[in-house]
Structure 1
Amino acid sequence: MASIRKRTKKDGTSSFMVCWRDPNTHEQQGLTVATQVEAETLRRLLDANGQSFEIAQHAILTNAKLVPTVAEVIQEHIDLLIRPSSGTTRTYQTMLDLHVRDVIGHIPVDKLDYRHIAHWVKSMTAKGRSAKTIHNVHGLISAAMNTAEQLKYIPRNPCRGVQLPNLQKPEDEAMFLTHAEFSMVIEGMAERYKAFTNFLVMTGTRFGEATAITVADVDLLSKPPTARINKAWKRDGQNQYYIGPTKTGAGKRTIGLNHALVELLIPLVAGRPGKDLLFTTPKGGRIIQQVYWQHYWLPAVKTAKANGLTKSPRIHDLRHTHASWLIQDGVPLFTISRHLGHTSTRTTEQVYGHLMPEALQATADAMERSVSGFVPLRPLRGDA
């Protein structure tokens, strides 16, 4: 049986060596190829043809003249990604295997057209897949078809112009707490996690960012005191957590800390090594979102509801709440966008723009002033 050995190069890329024993000389043979797809193909052909490389090579050359299928192109696209995280590769592989392969994966890529993609969208909808899932998988298919264009498999990406289900507006999902409502939640929070919960609402950081902050990332003596956000918890291909880069490049940022938060952080920083996580469990480990949600956040919200809270906020709503407080205080949208680590102000405006009635009124007033001197021309006689 032929086998495959994966080798990781110094630059982070991988190569794959296919090993087999020649049926005539019985000597060990090996051939290095660039992608796992090529390696799997060669291994399968060798095993199917008595380990004869000549027959396997002939089959490969014959197949090379054939147009690859949609599934093969998407697989090749995944294999060609430049230094993706193992978690990203795993996600894309799951999308291909679960949502594409058995529906349109068998179609030769040069035969894929608008009708096929529209059929795929309808089938996903019929299966009850969310609009977000359909958009995400369509994004993978479209990116793979762009790769197919580059590789000269097809002349044009057939995904362009396909109508997708409407995504729910971000602001429809966001929930904002008033200062009084947040006070009710924090009142019911376990003492161990009060500083952490206050940090989330006072900085607007994402959960994965806040739980990855180390003691060295915080400077309480600078003016103003700051926290450096430059990493977040990620999941790898084995579903294990590791500290990696922030969600986007814009996510790397330095945020200012208010005096009340500094007072809460002083005991967490004093005398601790810089490499330690700033916020930990009682045993010193990473704060797991599901555990925090189940055992601390939900009980705090339940207590707050018993005291009059009418909302059911999620943990991520603390980030929305933080942004809404900044808006209420008149902080410019661009500043808020940079502070939250958004890639562009468009994202910020989509989620929080409706909270800025003063800005809407200001634009209306500006337009009124710009046209105040405009006098419509009277129509000439006969120009009715």
Structure 2
Amino acid sequence: MASIRKRIKKDGTASYMVLWRDPKSREQQGLTVATLVEAETLKRLLDANGQSFEIAQHAILANAKRTPTIAEVIQEHIDLLVRPSSGTIKTYQTMLDLHVRNVIGHVPADKLDYRLLAHWVKSMMAKGLAPKTVHNVHGLISAAMNTAEMLGYIPRNPCRGVQLPPIEKAEDEAMFLTHAEFSLIMEGMGERYKAFTNFLVMTGTRFGEATALTVADVDLLSKPPTARINKAWKRDGQSKFYVGATKTGAGKRTIGLNPALVELLIPLVASRPGKELVFTTPKGGRIIHKLYWHHYWVPAVRTAQAIGLTKSPRIHDLRHTHVSWLIQDGVPLFTISRRLGHASTRTTEQVYGHLMPEALQAGADATERSVTAFLR
């Protein structure tokens, strides 16, 4: 049987060599192709035709004349991606295998239309998939169809305009803590992680960003003191963690630090090498979300609930809480957006706009002016 060997080039990209033994000369032959899809196709054709490359080649040429299937297009799209991490590639591959390949994956790409996509959406909802998941998979299909359009497989992307299930807005899930409520949680927080927890609520950084912060990223002598957020913990294709880029390009940002937070950070950065993490476990390792949540966050919240807290906040709600405090203090939306690392103020407004006191007051005042005439 033919076999496939993956080769990594000097630039980091991969190529694939298909190896087989010629049925006449019995000599080993090899051919290098650019994508795994091409390699698997050639291997399958060789195995089906007695390892005859001549017959396989005829089949490949005939196959090239047909429009690839939806699954083939998505697979080629994934193989052609350059920027995503191996963890992201694995996620896309899982989406294809679980939600597309055995549903509409066999359909030729040029036969995909609004009707078929609408049926696909309904089938995903019937399976119980969350609306967010349906949106994500549809996004992958749409991106792949953009690639198909560029490669000349189809005249236009049929995914445009397809109706998708509504997603609950982030503000419906977000929980905001008052200063007093946060203080209740801090009463039960383990001493080791008090500075870290305060950093989360005083900067609004994401957990993966805060835990990737190094001593060199913190400048307590500048005016104002700052923390440079330029990386975050990521998962690779084997679910192992590594330090990578922030969630978005806009996520790279510099955050001003308030005096109270500076006092907490001084002993954590003083006389320490720049490459070391600011926040660590007792053994100096990365703070793991699951362990922090289980051993510190949950016990602290339960302690707070025992003395009056009526909410059950998540760790990420510290980011929402940070924003709510800034809004209450009248900080402009643009400043908040930059501090959070949002790509645009629109994202910030969609999530937190309902908290803006000026907008709420303006609406109330406008209503009062409009009804004055008929109330008199």
Same fold by TM-score greater than 0.5? yes
Which letter maps to 1:355? L
> Contact 2:71 / 2:100 at 8 angstroms: preserved in 1?
yes
1:133-152 alignment runs, 5 A limit: 133-152=133-152
**Residue 123 of structure 2 corresponds to residue 119 of structure 1:** no
Cα deviation, 1:152-191, whole Å, max 9, x if unaligned, reads 2111212111111111011111110000000000111011
Q: Distance in 1 between matches of 2:222 and 2:157?
A: 52
1:222 corresponding residue in structure 2: 222
2:331 corresponding residue in structure 1: 331
SS in 1 for 2:119: helix
2:287 corresponding residue in structure 1: 287
**Residue 78 of structure 2 corresponds to residue 69 of structure 1:** no
**Residue 348 of structure 2 corresponds to residue 348 of structure 1:** yes
**Residue 269 of structure 2 corresponds to residue 269 of structure 1:** yes
Cα deviation, 1:332-380, whole Å, max 9, x if unaligned, reads 00000000000000110011111112134347869999x9xxxxxxxxx
Cα 1:14–1:366 shift into 2, 3 Å: farther
**Residue 212 of structure 2 corresponds to residue 212 of structure 1:** yes
Q: Distance in 2 between matches of 1:30 and 1:234?
A: 37
> Contact 2:204 / 2:322 at 8 angstroms: preserved in 1?
yes
SS in 1 for 2:271: coil
TM-score normalized with structure 1 length: 0.93
Which letter maps to 1:67? T
**Residue 259 of structure 2 corresponds to residue 247 of structure 1:** no
Q: CA deviation at 1:108?
A: 1.1
Q: CA deviation at 1:49?
A: 2.0
Q: Distance in 1 between matches of 2:84 and 2:45?
A: 29
SS in 2 for 1:106: coil
- Unaligned 5+ segments in structure 2 are 371-376
Q: Distance in 2 between matches of 1:30 and 1:84?
A: 30
Which letter maps to 2:50? G
SS in 2 for 1:189: coil
2:374 corresponding residue in structure 1: none
Between stretches 76-85 and 224-233, larger displacement belongs to: 76-85
Which letter maps to 2:209? E
Q: Distance in 2 between matches of 1:24 and 1:262?
A: 76
- Unaligned 5+ segments in structure 1 are 372-384
Q: Distance in 1 between matches of 2:249 and 2:37?
A: 31
Which letter maps to 2:302? K
Cα deviation, 1:185-221, whole Å, max 9, x if unaligned, reads 0111011110100000000000000000111111111
1:165 corresponding residue in structure 2: 165
1:165-204 alignment runs, 5 A limit: 165-204=165-204
> Contact 1:226 / 1:255 at 8 angstroms: preserved in 2?
yes
Tell me the percent identity: 84
Which letter maps to 2:3? S
Q: Distance in 2 between matches of 1:15 and 1:301?
A: 51
Q: Distance in 1 between matches of 2:262 and 2:156?
A: 56
Q: Distance in 1 between matches of 2:368 and 2:254?
A: 39
1:379 corresponding residue in structure 2: none
> Contact 1:12 / 1:83 at 8 angstroms: preserved in 2?
no
1:234 corresponding residue in structure 2: 234
Q: Distance in 1 between matches of 2:272 and 2:187?
A: 28
SS in 1 for 2:228: strand
1:57 corresponding residue in structure 2: 57
Q: Distance in 1 between matches of 2:10 and 2:367?
A: 59
Q: CA deviation at 1:50?
A: 2.3
Which letter maps to 1:195? A
Q: Distance in 2 between matches of 1:234 and 1:42?
A: 35
Q: Distance in 2 between matches of 1:368 and 1:224?
A: 43
2:80 corresponding residue in structure 1: 80
Q: Distance in 2 between matches of 1:8 and 1:257?
A: 44
Q: CA deviation at 1:229?
A: 0.3
> Contact 1:15 / 1:33 at 8 angstroms: preserved in 2?
yes
SS in 2 for 1:59: helix
1:6 corresponding residue in structure 2: 6
> Contact 2:328 / 2:357 at 8 angstroms: preserved in 1?
no
Q: Distance in 2 between matches of 1:156 and 1:367?
A: 46
Q: Distance in 2 between matches of 1:273 and 1:2?
A: 52
